[in-house]
Amino acid sequence: MRYLTTILITLAAITLTGCMEWDYGREESFSNSANGLFITNEGNFQYGNASLSFYDPATRKVENEVFYRSNAMKLGDVAQSMVIRNGIGWVVVNNSHVVFAIDIDTYKEVGRITGLTSPRYIHFVSDEKAYITQLWDNRIFIINPRTYQITGHIECPSMEMESGSTEQMVQWGRYLYVSCWSYQNRILKIDTTTDQIVDELEVGIQPSSLVLDRNGKLWTLTDGGKVGTPYGHEAPTLCRIDAETFTLECRLRFAEDDEPSELQLSGAGDRLYWLNEDVWSMSVDSNRLPVRPLIEQRETLYYGLTVDPASGDVYVADAIDYQQQGKIYRYSASGEEIDEFYVGIIPGAFCWK
C-alpha cells in the first residue's frame, strides 16, 4: 500500500511543482536530551503538512510538530525518512526535494541539502560523504554533509531517468548495497572508495526494504510488482544474500496476493520483522516463513514499523484513513500492547535517538 501511494505521489509530481511556500510564525524552545523515537509523518501530497514527532518511551510522552514548533517553519511535502549521525538528524522530505539537518535535542535546523530530484534515503559513509537515493531518477547523489553540497552522482545502468528508482542502502565493509525498486529487480554493489558500481544481483521484482543481519547476510523484500504493469507480476519474496560473496542464498515466497513491506531488524541483528496486514517475525537463521503473526491486525491500516534496538518493543504506525492524525501502537517483544498515541498525518518512518 505504501508504494502504491508513492507511485501516485510521483505521477502527480511530474506535472505539478514540488516547491512550497514556507510559513513562518513564533518559535518555541526545546532542550530534550532524552533517548527516544522520532516519527516522520508524510502528510498529504501537495498539502505541505508533513511533520515530525518525538516519543519518549520512558515517560510515554509524545511531542508532535516539533520541527514546526522549533523552527516556526513547515517541514514540507511528504517526509520520507530520517537518520541520525553525530547528534544531527537528517530528515528527507521527498516532494520538497530537500534534506533538513536538525539538532536532535532542540529540533532546530542547522543546515539543508537542496537541488535534489525526489530524495528517498540518505546513508553516511563518513563525515565528508553521504549517498542519497532518488525516486524515478537513475542517479544516486553524492553529498558532502559538512557543506550540504552535492558533489557528484552515480548513474545506475539499465535504468531510465523517469522510471528507475534506487531505494534503501546498507553497508558491509567498503561496499554499499542498494535496492532498485520501481520497475527493477536488482541489488547494486557500490565501492564507496571509488563511487563505482562494481556488481549487481537479480532478485525478485521490485526489491524495497533492505537490512543486514548479524551473520553478514543481506535481506530484502520484493513486492512482486503489480498485475497489468509492463514489468510484470510475480509472488512477493523474502531474499537472503551473502554480503561477502554477493550471492543469493535463499528465496522465500509469499502468496501471490500478499503485500509484505517494511522489513526491519532487531537491535541484536538476529530477528526480522515485517508487515503483511499483520506484523510478522522470524529468526535470521530460519529457512521458512512463519505461519502465525506476532501481532494481528485489528481494523487498522498498518503503514510503518520499527523495533526498539534496546528493549525489543515493536512500534506499528496506523495511517487510519490517510486524512486524520495517525496512531502509533507500541507492543512488547512478545506482542502485548504497552501504549498507543496519536502523531501526524500518515506516519511512515521511524528513527531511534
Q: Which long-range contacts (C-beta less than 8 Å, at least 24 apart) are formed by 92-97?
A: 92/119, 92/120, 92/121, 92/122, 92/132, 93/50, 93/119, 94/9, 94/118, 94/119, 94/120, 94/135, 95/9, 95/13, 95/18, 95/45, 95/46, 96/18, 96/19, 96/20, 96/48, 96/50, 97/18, 97/19
Structure confidence by residue, pLDDT tens digits, 106-139? 999 999 999 999 999 999 999 999 999 999 899 9
Measure Cα distances from 98 to 115, 217, 319 in Å.
7, 32, 24
The confidence score (pLDDT) of residue 227 equals: 86
- CB within 8 A of 71, min separation 6: which ones? 27, 107, 108, 109
The confidence score (pLDDT) of residue 4 equals: 45
Structure confidence by residue, pLDDT tens digits, 234-265? 999 999 999 999 999 999 999 999 999 999 99
Q: Once rounded to an integer, what is the mean pLDDT over residues 159-172?
A: 87
Structure confidence by residue, pLDDT tens digits, 290-319? 999 999 998 999 999 999 999 999 999 999
Residue 47: all three cell numbers together: 498539502
Question: In angstroms, rounded to a whole number, what is the distance separating the alpha carbons of residues 57 and 41?
Answer: 18
Per the CB < 8 A criterion, the answer to whether 91 and 67 are in contact is yes
> Nearest 5°: phi and psi at 318?
-110, 115
Q: pLDDT exceeding 70 applies to what percent of the chain?
A: 92
The confidence score (pLDDT) of residue 20 equals: 45
DSSP per position, 191-205: ETTTTEEEEEEE-SS
